[in-house]
Amino acid sequence: MSDQHFAPGWTGYDKRVQVQTYDVTRFLRQGRNVIAATLADGWYTGFLGWDGKRNHYGGYPLRFRASLKVLDGSETTLVTDASWKAAHGPILFADFYRGEHHDARKAMPGWTSPNFDDTGWHAVDVADENRNLVGTAGAEVRVSQEIKPRQISNPQPGEYVFDMGQNMVGWVRLRVRGPAGTTITLRHAEMLKPDGTLYTENLRTADSVDRYILSGRGWEVWEPQFTFHGFRYVAMTGFPGRPNLNTITGRVAHSDIPQALEFSTDNPQLNQLQSNIDWGQRGNFLSVPTDCPQRDERLGWMGDAQVFVRTACMNRDVASFFTKWMGDVNTAQHVGAFPDVVPTMLGPGGAGAPAWGDAGVIVPWTLYECYGDTRLLQQSFSHMAAWVDRIAKMNPDFLWKQGRGSDYGDWLSINALTDKEVLATAFFAHSAHLVAQAASVLGKASEQAQYQRLFESIARAFLQAYVDASTGKIRGDTQTAYALALRFGLLPHDLQSKAGQHLVANIKARDNHLSTGFVGVSHLLPALSQVGRDDVAYALLTQTTFPSWLYSIQQGATTIWERWDGWTEDKGFQTPGLNSFNHYSFGAVGEWMYENIAGLSPLAPGWKRIRVRPVPGANLKRASATLQTPYGPLVSRWELNKGHFRLHVVIPANTTARVHVPGKVMKHTATSGAVQAQSDEGGTVFPVGSGAWEFTSTM
């Protein structure tokens, strides 16, 4: 009836459960009809988190509720009641972490047909529950593509390892023929050990094992229904004979989020980085924005989401996906504090961390900027304000010292330790500023003035407590500290260039290597561009030695790693406790790539006004991007050949743009109209309207 997987999707089931609506008219026929359902543990009662616990929202028996409304004028409605029957089928076990086990010998052919003999099935338990039922708001989980394995190895007797060629999220479809009772075991992993066997230590307690027991009735095709895995490699044992490349097919699954961006350059490694960013986003945007798809976690970490949300908005149309998730975020807020994980299942202790709880402010504001829709901002404003009010009440001196919850800091930074108080106060200021901006958009003048004053007070306190007024050096002297202070507007004009110099000096002292963790990674390159050092930003982006974005690509990565040192040539695998090879946070660099290499950024919410400002660098000769905006496709395509720069731009209908052309402009052409050029540092600015434009300059 539907190609949707894992309905009703993951929400805070104790607060709200989504309802799916289907038009089943085409399935009805004269005479008897049947409504049938298969239930499995899922997020509701399956294993969740790293503590080996299940039943976070409820236990057995599992619940199913349905109604069929007949729209023939009779207003007849059929509902689930005590007349229903239930039985166990061929699915012996199903869990997101541990996999699915299926015994095809127990199949009941025709069990969904009207003439099926249900003698022996037992009566159902009818519950009177009043959970808050809401309409489905987010993108449903679907299979988006299939992948065939690239090669098969045989590292030990009886075990065959399939390389899918891509770290993916989903499962595999099996095609097999053999004797009844034959058991085939499929294990999943992201990496291989040196001996060619699966590296599964980083899965922790998530077994990720599927088992299929053959019926013995000819060719059998099977795929799990109620589990998913994060993997590139599949190890098969128990196969009757020798498998081939057609034995399994990878089924890629994620929330159905349309692609919004096509981006490429003449640098193959940057193209692979973009591919890794997108694959990481797709795999981890599965009902909620998870941190990772493979180990015993897969949770909606708030910090990861706020770091990546702007990159996510440009890569794919995430409006409905994040709107649904923000409903869970706002519902989960308690006494002003946002949880670290949403849907929450960590208990009351997991709340209030700087940069994690701030997602409750940053995400709705970013969605407004990207899509120009004020509805989510209206729904979230009181929650955004309550978060900032909570911090302000506990910290009357405007420095965020108290109430920092788990206080993760600049998570997984490399050889640098950003002062947690500095980091927290920077985010306190940033959230206050965003609440003030949201109030202005929503016409709340008094609130706008209130939170703007608060922001200014925090900025003054930050400057006095953490910044050397003569040198611009910030306590801790880390890349993240400077990036946050610059990006969040916490430094007066005369100190911005000095702070930028310290930031560059830190990078140069590390031989053009970064040190930021999750919190600083999205702000590092934009901060460098802000102080006029695009050259250093490019040097970091194209760095290939450890630690860098391209180092993992040098090692064959096809998704973004959780840590810079997930695997290194000198040390091998990092600690398995935290070593995901599909974690989107460090992919937040995409924001800078799209805005600086391609040159695309909005000047007004929802791309009503546009800036096109490509910044060539790092020996790039070509770059191209097409972004699907609410007004249509926006195109920026440039090439640089022997000092001659050519830029092709397409501006969507009903929008205007400012096109910044580097170098000395030689000529420009347009589909219609004329423009008045304006001088710009390092080039020329052309205010233009919708249509196609060509610019040529010398550099």
- DSSP at 126: P
Per 3-state DSSP, the chain is made up of helix, strand and coil in percentages (nearest 5) of 30, 25, 45
Q: Which helix (H) or strand (E) holds 632?
A: strand 632-641
Strand partners, 87: none
Is residue 284 a contact partner of residue 584, using CB atoms and an 8 Å limit? yes
Cis peptide before 243 (omega within 30 of 0): no
- Residue 132 has which token pair? 């808050």
Strand partners, 187: 209, 235
- DSSP at 597: I
What are the Cα distances from residue 405, in Å, to 36, 362, 391?
46, 18, 11
Integer Cα distance of 423 and 264 in angstroms:
34
Annotation says 456 is catalytic: no
Amino acid found at 600? L
Whether the CA torsion 333, 334, 336, 342 is positive or negative: it is negative
DSSP 134-177: EE--SPPEEEEEEE--SEEEEEETTEEEEEEEEEEEEEEEEEE-
Q: Which helix (H) or strand (E) holds 620?
A: none
Integer Cα distance of 566 and 552 in angstroms:
8
What are the Cα distances from residue 294, in Å, to 173, 192, 630?
18, 15, 34
Integer Cα distance of 12 and 332 in angstroms:
8
Annotation says 562 is catalytic: yes
Amino acid found at 560? I
Residue 670 φ/ψ region, left for φ over 0, alpha for ψ in the -120 to 50 degree band, beta for the rest: beta
Closest CA to 520 of 409, 402, 599: 409
- To which residue do tokens 């543990």 refer? 41
347's CB contacts (< 8 A; 6+ apart) are none
- Residue 286 has which token pair? 């599965």
- To which residue do tokens 């993108």 refer? 139
What are the Cα distances from residue 450, in Å, to 385, 456, 475?
11, 10, 28
- Residue 36 has which token pair? 């049938």
Amino acid found at 103? D
Tell me which of 369, 562, 591, 595 is the catalytic residue: 562
Using H for helix, E for strand and C for coil, what is the string for 465-491? HHECCCCCCECCCCHHHHHHHHHCCCC
Tell me which of 100, 159, 297, 369 is the catalytic residue: 297
Amino acid found at 68? L
What phi, psi does 276 have (nearest 5°)?
Answer: -65, -40
Integer Cα distance of 681 and 687 in angstroms:
16
Using H for helix, E for strand and C for coil, what is the string for 18-85? EECCCCCHHHCCCCCCCCCCCCCCHHHHCCCCCCCCCCCCCCCCCCCCCEEEECCCCCEEEECCCCCE
Active site (catalytic) residues: 297, 562
